[in-house]
Amino acid sequence: MAHLPDISFQVANTAASIHGGTYEGSFLPGTSIPDGYGMIRTSTYGYRGGFKAGAFEGHGWIQFNFDGTGAEMVKEYTGGFSKNHFNGQGRAAYYPFLSLAQGFGGCNPIQFHGLVYDGGWVNSQKCGYGVMTSSLPGTTYIGGWNKDSQEGYGTVFSSQYAYPCYDGGWKRGKKEGYGKLFGADGTCNYEGGFKDDKQEGWGKYLAFDGNLYQGYWENGIRIA
């Protein structure tokens, strides 16, 4: 979740010091509460866009200073806001970070992440339809999201190949339900059930020697 800072503050004029920064913009009539369009800049972030009763609301842009945590920290976001959270459609670019995790769908190991997400948000979590791209080695996920994880139907592409790596179901960020795995030449190497990112249930597998195997799988292992 991309939590946003608490900006419940009182300011005396249109260029006042707040949270170590400044606010310029409009206010609720007769109050010092930001409302309408405004800009705020602090030591940790800068924002310009809509306000409602002191909170980010409507369309806006925000940029965060790097705090050293690294893992999936939002660098910049443009899109919808509601009550200080990303809501509606928006685009977020993340600070690069190092990881030994696999790429989306396990197509490629990713050690350097430069993530960009463009799609739906609910309460600062990726939700609905969206596209997530990693700059290195160039992996893209297109499909459904729920609570910051891939959910429903989605497809994984790699810039190294002209064909998708995986196409099918997802649950909590892992392959689940019916899906297909593809090789670099576009050949479907496996078609069938998945659970917890592994083959499960009935499926058919095309081996490197060209033989086709059909049967049942359990925890990623063919058992019959």
In terms of Cβ atoms closer than 10 Å to its own Cβ (0-12, 13-18, 19+), residue 19 is middle
What's the confidence (pLDDT) of residue 137?
Answer: 63
Confirm whether 48 is domain-assigned.
yes
Confirm whether 117 is domain-assigned.
no
In sequence order, the 6+-apart residues with CB closer than 8 A to the CB of 1 are 123, 124, 125, 148
What's the confidence (pLDDT) of residue 26?
Answer: 92
**How many folded domains does the chain comprise?**
1
What's the confidence (pLDDT) of residue 33?
Answer: 86
What's the confidence (pLDDT) of residue 106?
Answer: 53
What's the confidence (pLDDT) of residue 210?
Answer: 83
What's the confidence (pLDDT) of residue 97?
Answer: 66
pTM of the predicted model, to two decimals? 0.83
Q: Which string of b and e fits 120-157 if b means at least 16 CB within 10 Å?
A: bbbebbbbebbebbbbeebbbbbbbbbebebbebbbbb
The pLDDT mean for the chain works out to 83
What's the confidence (pLDDT) of residue 17?
Answer: 41
- Cis status of the peptide bond prior to 137, with omega within 30 of 0: yes
pLDDT tens-digit map of 47-71: 999 999 988 999 999 998 876 655 5
State CA 172 to chain mean position distance.
13
Q: Would you say 115 and 138 are in contact if contact means Cβ atoms under 8 Å apart?
A: no
- Residue 83, pLDDT > 60, answer yes
pLDDT tens-digit map of 152-200: 999 999 877 778 999 999 999 999 999 999 988 888 999 999 999 999 9
Confirm whether 132 is domain-assigned.
no
Confirm whether 44 is domain-assigned.
yes
In terms of Cβ atoms closer than 10 Å to its own Cβ (0-12, 13-18, 19+), residue 69 is exposed
For residues 149 and 175, give the distance between their C-alpha atoms in angstroms, rounded to a whole number.
Answer: 11
What's the confidence (pLDDT) of residue 112?
Answer: 47
User: pLDDT category, 13, cuts 50, 70, 90?
Assistant: very low
The tokens of 45 are what? 């972030």
What's the confidence (pLDDT) of residue 147?
Answer: 94
What's the domain range around 16? Answer: 1-66+76-84
Confirm whether 92 is domain-assigned.
no
Confirm whether 125 is domain-assigned.
no
Confirm whether 1 is domain-assigned.
yes
pLDDT tens-digit map of 89-144: 999 998 876 554 555 555 554 444 678 999 999 999 999 999 999 876 678 999 99
Which range has the top average pLDDT, 18-27, 35-44, 106-115, 194-203? 194-203
What is the sign of the dihedral through the CA atoms of 94, 96, 100 and 106? positive
Confirm whether 80 is domain-assigned.
yes
What's the confidence (pLDDT) of residue 45?
Answer: 87
Mean pLDDT over 194-218 rounds to: 92
For residues 143 and 151, give the distance between their C-alpha atoms in angstroms, rounded to a whole number.
Answer: 8
